[in-house]
Structure 1
Amino acid sequence: MSTTENTPSDDGMADFGYSQSLDRSIGKFASFAAGISYISILTGTFQLFYFGYAFGGPAYWWSWPLVFAGQIMVALCFAELAGRYPVAGSVYNWSKRLAGPTTAWLAGWMMFTASVVTLTAVVLAYQGTLPLIWSGFQLVGDGTGETDFAVSAVIWGAVLVAFTTTINALGVKLMARINSAGVFIELIAAVLLIVLLAVNIVNPPTVLFDTQGLGAGTDLGYFGAFLVAALASAYVMYGFDTASSLGEETVDPRRTAPTAILRAVIASFVIGGLILLFAILAAPDLTAPEIGSVGGLQFVVLTVLGGPLGIALLISVVIAVTVCALAVHTAAIRLMFAMARDNALPAGARLAKIDPKRKTPVVPAVLIGVASVLILVVNIGSPQIFTAVTSVAIIMIYIAYLLVTVPMLRKRLKGEWPGPNAGKDGYFSLGRWGLPVNIVAVVWGTAMAINLAWPREDVYGAGVLSFIAPIFIGAVILVGLAWYLARGRHQTGTLPEHMAKNLEEAP
C-alpha cells in the first residue's frame, strides 16, 4: 500500500482522486448522532423486543452482550478504515481499496439494496407505536380488521418517507440539525426510561436465566431457540458505519469518524442493554402473552409506568423512529452517490449530480424514497413475504460487512495492512491487536450470516419461504453482477466532473 494512501496530505478529497463537492459542515456530535440514530436503540428495542422474547423468553437478554461482543470487533476494523478513508459510501469505498473492483461493487450493491429495504422496515415502526399514543392514529378501521394494521402502517410509512426525502433533498445541514436534535431527545428519553424501569423492578435477577421451557423437545433444545431469539439483537446493532459514510461532509473526519463509530456502538450497547434488562425485571407478569406479541416492550412500559409518563416515552420512541429513518435514508443516498460518481451504476452522471445550491445529491434522495414507498405496498397483501425479505436485507448487510473485513484480513496476513506509518500518523490504529480483532470479526460475521440465513419456518414462513434467504440474495447477486460484468465494469471510472482538480496529488 502506498505511503500516499496511509498518510494523506490533508482531509481533502484529492487524496482519493475526487473533488470536494459535498458540504463539509458536520461536527463531532452530528457525526456521532448519525451512527447512533441508524442503530437507534429506541427504534430497534421497541420494534424487536417481542421477537426475541417470544423465541427466547427472559434469557434472550444474553443475546444482547453476545451480539455486541461480535459487532464491536467489526466496528474496530471499520474505525481503522474510517481514519484512512473517510469517503462517502464507506463499505463500497473501503472494499474498493482492500479488494478488487468486482468485490467492491458487489459490497456496495448489496449494502445499497439492503439499505432501501431497511428504510422501508424502519418506517413501518410508526404503526407499532402511534395508535398506542392515541387511537386516532389508527388511520384505517379500528385495528382489528384483516388489513387495518397493514394499510395504516403503509400510509404512515409513506408519510415518513416523504419527510426524510424532503429533508435529505434540502441539504445535509438541515438533516444534521434534525438528526442531532432527535438523537439528543432519544438519549434523554432512554436514560429516563432506564431509571423509571429500574425503580419499578419486581423480579429477581435470576429470571434472566428463565427459558420458559422454549426449545424443549427439539434437537438443539434451548440453544436452538436462543439462536433464533438472538436475531432480534442482530437486527438492531448495525449501521454504525454511517458516521464514516458522511466523512466527506464531516469536519476533521479522520479523527471524528473512528471515534463516532465506536461511541455509537458502545453507547447503543449500554443503553439498549439496560432498557431490555430493566424491562424484563420490571414486567409484573413475565408469562403475559402480550410481551411476546408485536408491541411487547410498549406493553411493558405502559403497564409499568402507565398514564401520561408512559405516553410521553412512547412519543420519544416516535421521534427515535423518525431520525432513524432519516439516517438510513441519508446513508443509502451517500452509497448511491459514491457508486454513481465512479460511474458504477446506470445513469451514473445523473445520479451523482450535486445540487449547486444545496450541495447534496437530490436525485438519489427522490429515487430511494419512491422505491421504499413501492416496497411498502407489498406489506398490505403479503406481510409475511415482506417480513421475510426484510430479514434477508439484514443478512445482506452482514455479508457486505464481510466483503470488507475478509479482504482486510487477507491484506493483514500478507503484511499489506495497515502499512508502515500506522499509529505514527495520529489516526486510529489497532496496532498489534489488529490481526486477532480482524479474525474474530470475520468469524463472527460469517457465523451470524449463517444463523440469520438458516431456513426457519418460524422466521421466514413455511414452504418455499423458508428458503427466501438464498433465493432473494442469490437473485440480487445474479441480477447485479449480470449488469456489472456485462456493462458496468467496462464503464467504471471517476466521472470527469467529480475528478480531483489537482490530479498529481491523487494516488
Structure 2
Amino acid sequence: MSEVRPGGSGSAAEVPQMHLRSVKHSFSLRSASALSFATMRPIFIFTVAGGVLLTAGSGAWLAVLLCYALLLLIASVLAELASHWPLEGSVYEWTRQLIGPRSGLIVGWAYLCSYVVFMAAIAYYAALKIFGLFDSSPNRVVAGILALVLILLATLINLAGRVYLKAVAVAAAAISLVGCLIFATVLLIGYRAESLGALFASPADGVHGWAWLSGPFLFVLVTLSVISMRGVELVAEVAEEVRDPERSVPKALVWSVVVAGAVVLYTSAALALAAPDALAGAQKFISLLVVLAYSGALVIFQMAASRTLWITTRDRVLPAHAYFGQLSKGDRLPVRAIIVVGIVAAILPFITSTSASQVLFGTAGAALLLAYLVPILGAARSRMRGTWAPGPWSLGGWGGIAVVLSIIALVGLVLNIIWPRADYYGDGITAWGPIIGLVVIIVLGLIISGWAFRDGGIHTRHFGHTDRDLQRIRLAHGSTCSLCLRTLSEGSEAQWDDSAQALTCIPCDEMTDWIRARPGATDAELSAVFIEAHESYSSIAPPTESTLRRIRAVR
C-alpha cells in the first residue's frame, strides 16, 4: 500500500504527505528501442551458426528468414495492444484487459518465470563462454559461482538506476550491431565460398532432400525461436516509464525487430556463404563480444522480471504484495522486486548443467510465447465481438488478418519448441523437460490464482481512473501526472486514486470534472481548457493526441 505520513502545521496538516507506487517517465523512444534490440542480441547468430549450418546447410538461411518474418508479424500485433494499453507489465496487463484478471495473473506468472529461468540459463551460458576464453572447462559448481557473480552485477546495475540501465542497453545494442556488421562484411568480402543462390537452394539438392522441411528445418526454427524472440516486447514492459507511450512504444517495438532482423539476416547469410574455417582465428574475440552482449541482456532481463513482479504486487495478486510493491524514494525503482528476482535466478545455475541449460532455454521460450499467445487470443475475441478500439498506432484493415496469422504462428512455434527432441534436449525424460517445466509453471500459476482471487477477489486492485476514492495528497518525492505526464516535484499537491494506483495533478483533475459535464467537447475545446488549466506552469506544452486520449478515458 502507499505510505501516508502526517503533514506539518497549517494547511499541510490537512493534506497528508505520501510515498506512492508510481514510476518515473525516464525512457525516450531511442532508449526504449535499445532495450528490445539489446535483448534480441543479433550477435547470438555466431553462437548457433555452427550447429545450424551443420544440421541444415546453407539453406538454413530460409529458416532464419521465416523466423523473423513471423516475429515481425507478432510484434506488429503486440504493438497494437501496446498502443491501446501502454501499461507497465505488457502481456500481463493486456490479458487482464482483454480476457480477465485471473487469466492475466497466470500469463503474468508465466512471463515472470520465463524471464527468471532465462536469466539463469543465459548467465550459466555466459559463464561457460568466459571460461572458454581461457581454454578452461569448469565443473557445474564453478560455472554456477561465476553465473552468480554475473547475476549479482546485473542486480547492482538495476539497483543503481535507470541511467545505468539505459547505458547498458545502448552498449549491448552497439556491441551486437557493430560486431555483426563488421564480421559479416569481412566474411562476404574476403571469405565467401558459395554464390548467393545457395541461400535459396531447393531442399532436393541437399543431403536431406525434402525431409529437410520436417527435420533439420524445424530443428533450426526451434533454436532461433528460443533465442531470437526473447525481448521483442520489452519496450512495452516499461511503457509507464516511456514518454508518449501510446506512440513511442509501438514504434520502438516494431523498429527494433526490423533492425535486429535485418542484421541477423545479413550476418547469417555471410556465415552460410563463407568458408567453414573463416572465423577460426577470431573465435575468442567473437566469444568476448558475445559475453559482453549477453551480460547486457542479462541486466535487461532482470529489469523485465522485476517490473512484472512489481506490477503484479501493485495489483495485490501475489503473496507479500505490500512488501514487494514498494518503490525507492529517489528513482522510484522496485528495489525489493529486483533483489528477489536476482536471488531466485542466482540459485538456478547450481541445479543445472550444460545439457540441462538447453531445457531451461526451451522451457523459458515456450512460456514466453504462450504469454504472447493469450492476449492475442483475447484481441481476436474482441475483434469478433466488435468491441476492439485501436489506439493511435494501428494496423488498420490488416489487423484482423495479422491477429489470426499470429495465433497460428505462435501455436506452431510453441509446439515446435516443446516437442521432445532427444538431439536437442537430451535422451530419456530430459527430452520432455520443456513440457514438464511448462506444466509446473502453469500449475503454480493456477494455485496462486486461487489464492489471489479468494473471496471473489475483493482485495485485488481494480482498473481505470475511477474518481471514487480520490485523496488530495502532498508528494514526499518527485513523481509524474498520469494524464499530462508533467513531472511533479517533491511537496506538490495532487490527487491520488489508491484503487487505480493513479496520480493526477490538480489542473488535470479539474479538467476531468469539466469534460464529464461536456462529453461532446471537441479536441480544440479540450486543448484550450488544458492550456488554461495549466497556465501557471510556463513550461507546459499543448496537449498531444495521446494526452487528450488519456483525459477522455477518465471515468
- Structure 2 length-normalised TM: 0.76
Partner of 1:250: 242
Of 266, 272, 291 in structure 2, the residue corresponding to residue 318 of structure 1 is 291
Of the structure 1 ranges 78-87 and 430-439, higher mean CA displacement relative to structure 2 is found in 78-87
- Amino acid of the structure 2 residue aligned with 1:177: A
Q: Verify: 1:360 aligned to 2:333, yes or no.
A: yes
Q: How does 1:98-497 map to 2 (within 5 A)?
A: 98-133=98-133, 135=134, 142-143=136-137, 148=138, 150-199=140-189, 200-208=191-199, 209=201, 222-238=213-229, 239-284=231-276, 301=279, 303=280, 306=281, 311-380=284-353, 383-418=354-389, 427-488=392-453, 490=457, 491-493=459-461, 496=498
Partner of 1:15: none
Superposed displacement of residue 37, structure 1:
1.1
1:354 & 1:498 partners in 2: Cα distance?
17
Residue by residue, what CA displacement relative to the aligned partner does 1:465-507 show, whole Å, maximum 9, x if unpaired?
Answer: 2322332212221122122124445332159487224597745
Task: Flag the structure with larger Rg.
Answer: 2
Superposed displacement of residue 220, structure 1:
5.0
Q: Verify: 1:24 aligned to 2:25, yes or no.
A: yes
- Amino acid of the structure 1 residue aligned with 2:194: N
Q: Report the structure, 1 or 2, having the larger helix content.
A: 1
Partner of 2:548: none
1:126–1:153 contact (8 Å) kept in structure 2: no
Partner of 1:67: 67
Q: Report the structure, 1 or 2, having the larger strand content.
A: 2
Superposed displacement of residue 46, structure 1:
3.1
- Amino acid of the structure 2 residue aligned with 1:256: S
* 3-state SS in 1 of match to 2:345: helix
Partner of 1:33: 34
2:499 & 2:296 partners in 1: Cα distance?
32
Alignment CA distance shift 1:52-1:492 (3 Å): farther
Alignment CA distance shift 1:415-1:222 (3 Å): closer
Superposed displacement of residue 441, structure 1:
0.5
- Amino acid of the structure 2 residue aligned with 1:353: Q
Partner of 2:517: none
Alignment CA distance shift 1:152-1:48 (3 Å): farther
2:213 & 2:84 partners in 1: Cα distance?
43
Superposed displacement of residue 458, structure 1:
1.5
1:27 & 1:430 partners in 2: Cα distance?
23
- Amino acid of the structure 1 residue aligned with 2:326: K
Residue by residue, what CA displacement relative to the aligned partner does 1:385-409 show, whole Å, maximum 9, x if unpaired?
Answer: 3421321210111111111111101
Where does the alignment leave 5 or more consecutive residues of structure 2 unmatched?
1-19, 463-496, 513-550
Superposed displacement of residue 312, structure 1:
4.4
1:237–1:265 contact (8 Å) kept in structure 2: no
Partner of 2:528: none
- Amino acid of the structure 2 residue aligned with 1:417: W
Residue by residue, what CA displacement relative to the aligned partner does 1:281-308 show, whole Å, maximum 9, x if unpaired?
Answer: 11335xxxxxxxxxxxxxx53x2xx26x
Amino-acid identity (%): 23
1:410 & 1:487 partners in 2: Cα distance?
25
2:50 & 2:111 partners in 1: Cα distance?
26
Figure out how many residues of one structure are paired with residues of the other and give that number: 450
2:34–2:169 contact (8 Å) kept in structure 1: yes
Alignment CA distance shift 1:467-1:126 (3 Å): closer
1:221 & 1:267 partners in 2: Cα distance?
28
Superposed displacement of residue 454, structure 1:
1.6
- Structure 1 length-normalised TM: 0.82
Where does the alignment leave 5 or more consecutive residues of structure 1 unmatched?
1-18, 286-299
Superposed displacement of residue 35, structure 1:
0.7
2:290 & 2:434 partners in 1: Cα distance?
30
Superposed displacement of residue 83, structure 1:
1.6
1:240–1:265 contact (8 Å) kept in structure 2: yes
- Amino acid of the structure 2 residue aligned with 1:69: A
Residue by residue, what CA displacement relative to the aligned partner does 1:422-449 show, whole Å, maximum 9, x if unpaired?
Answer: 5xxxx21111010011111111001111
- Amino acid of the structure 1 residue aligned with 2:428: G
